[in-house]
Amino acid sequence: MIDDDTHVFYRNPFTHYPVVARGEGPYLFDEDGKRYLDACGGAIVSALGHSVPEIIDAMKRQLESVEFAHTSQFTNAAQEELAALLAERAPGGLNHVYFVSGGSEAVESAMKLARGYWVQMGRPDKWMVIGREQSYHGNTLGALAAGGNRWRRAIYEPMLFKAPRVAPCYCYRCPFDKAPATCRIECAEDLERAILEAGPENVAAFIAEPIVGATAGALVPHDNYFRRVREICDKYDVLLIADEVMTGLGRCGSWFAIRQFGVVPDMICMAKGLAAGYVPVGATLVHDRIVDTFHNRRHIFQHGHTYMGHPLAAAAGAAVVKYIDQHKLVERSRKMGEELMTQIRKALGDHPHVGDIRGRGLFVGIEFVADRDTKAPFEPEAAFHRELREIAFENGLIIYPMGGTIDGRRGDHVLIAPPFIITKAQIGRLVALLVKSVDAAVAKMHPKVDV
Ligand SMILES: Cc1ncc(COP(=O)(O)O)c(C=O)c1O
């Protein structure tokens, strides 16, 4: 099925990709006029829906004044404005923003900044970054090294730096076999074990998604998980990096998801929803403590990319933040998220192949199982998630499914993350198409159990 007429090196040359022609609100249309309900913003990107005139106008205005000026020579009004808007909304103390062009770059910047900070502090042995199993922080080598997405890492293992990993906060399949009544947040305590094993003198940072996205399907941590993590980080002089590339900017019903867990991290990585798909952009929000350390010693952060602080990207980002404010979309994400959760639970809560439904705001994950009682997953070879994605797409519904939910190999989930402007009626349509697609995908499975 490889198309010889193209010069594009596709993500997957064995897939047929329709040509997208236009977008409107929560819909995308291909060149044949087929309409798709975009229930995941591509990859949790299009937070405002498609073709919002206010964002496009702001971008045009920027292009009419200046399209590019290198950040080693100039600052620009757009990046100054966006940095101020983000600092105003970020948890206390995260008042400086390092702009980049995507999520992986934001993570790389945060990890290198953590290293730089400890060097400035006279602790040059501190370099290690601890991550979690079943996490994802990006595909560049550093971000891949810190992440716990096994199938994405597999062939690159020899190229990745050593990054210890701790247990995920995965209550549906607790790695410590605990139930809510017996839980002592062992998964948070696991961080202390990893720090002690690596030697606290060697550990620069711990990185975690406040709510795990792509790898495990909207895993919401225990309420006290991040408080305990913060305590452990403070005890051993380890910086806490919150990777909010998926969860940031209103997606989970607050500007930043980490705020819901009562802690202030040392850095926050953002991208995706920051310019809502209108242009690539990423950002690392940095605590004053770290910035001051560099400033007071008159040192610069030795890093940088050509396109950082790009005026067009920053203008789009600033327009997105203002649009979210004007239309009260953070509150709407929370409210419509409750509606989405209610409708999904009603439609799929008793489904024999739905094991768990979880998430916050308009960020909902559904984990599928072959057997609800034993929680046994479908056989990995059956690739239920892929089947589901293809059937849903055929049905005009775009969702974000993934396999390897449990351990990088077994398990299937889907992320549902529609734009904040979605209506109740559109949620109804989304859920109806989802149920139809799940049933059709299940019908194609031989529910043989893999345990
Ligand atoms: C939590 C998280 N961090 C980082 C990334 C990497 O972002 P990008 O694909 O923009 O490099 C992703 C992408 O899915 C992500 O979900």
Q: Where are the beta strands (DSSP E) in 101-252?
A: 128-132, 165-166, 203-208, 239-243
237 within 8 A of 123, measured Cβ to Cβ: yes
Residues with CB under 6 A from ligand 1: 43, 102-104, 107, 136-138, 209, 213-214, 243, 245-246, 271
Measured in angstroms, how far is the CA atom of residue 191 from the centroid of ligand 1?
23
Q: Note if the pTM is more than 0.85.
A: yes
Closest CA to 109 of 305, 348, 255, 398: 305
What separation in Å is there between the alpha carbon of 149 and the centre of ligand 1?
12
Ligand 1 centroid vs 182 CA: distance in angstroms? Answer: 34
Q: What is the pLDDT of residue 430?
A: 98
Burial class from Cβ neighbours inside 10 Å (0-12, 13-18, 19+) for residue 234 reads exposed
What is residue 2's predicted lDDT score, i.e. its pLDDT? Answer: 62
- Does an H or E element contain 321, and which? helix 311-326
- Paired tokens of 25: 């609100």
Quickly tell me which residue has 């009626």 as its tokens: 425
Q: To test ligand 1's pocket by mutation, which of 108, 111, 246 has the most ligand atoms within 8 angstroms of CB? A: 246
Decide: residue 303, CB within 10 A, 0-12 exposed, 13-18 middle, 19+ buried: middle
Residue 397 buriedness (CB in 10 A; 0-12 / 13-18 / 19+):
buried
The amino acid at 70: H
Rounded CA-CA distance 146/294 in Å is: 24
Cβ-Cβ contacts under 8 Å for 372 (sequence gap 6 or more): 352, 353, 354, 355
pLDDT for position 451: 40
What pLDDT is attached to residue 445? 87
Q: What is the pLDDT of residues 76-107, one digit of tens each?
A: 999 999 999 999 999 999 999 999 999 999 99
Regions of the chain where pLDDT drops below 70: 1-3, 446-451
Domains and CATH numbers, the chain: 20-51+328-444 (3.90.1150.10), 55-326 (3.40.640.10)
CA distance linking residue 276 with residue 6, whole number of Å: 28
- 40 near 366, Cβ under 8 Å? no
Q: Which of ligand 1's atoms lies nearest the C-alpha of 213?
A: 16
Q: Indicate the angle between helix axes 424-444 and 329-348, nearest 10 degrees.
A: 40
pLDDT of residue 449: 47
Tokens matching residue 219: 């895993």
Compute, in angstroms, the gap from residue 102 CA to the centroid of ligand 1. Answer: 7
Atom of ligand 1 nearest to the CA of 143: 4
pLDDT at 82: 98
Q: In the prediction, which pLDDT does 349 show?
A: 98
Q: Residue 426 is inside which H or E element, if any? A: helix 424-444
Q: Which atom of ligand 1 is nearest to the CA of 140?
A: 11
Residue whose Cα lies nearest atom 13 of ligand 1: it is: 138
Q: How far is the CA of 178 from the centre of ligand 1 (A)?
A: 30
DSSP-derived secondary structure letter, 259? G
84: Cβ contacts below 8 Å, ≥ 6 apart: none
pLDDT digits (tens, 9 = 90+) for 224-279: 999 999 999 999 999 999 999 999 999 999 999 999 999 999 999 999 999 999 99
Query: How many angstroms is it from 80 CA to the middle of ligand 1?
Result: 24
Q: Residue with the nearest Cα to atom 10 of ligand 1?
A: 103
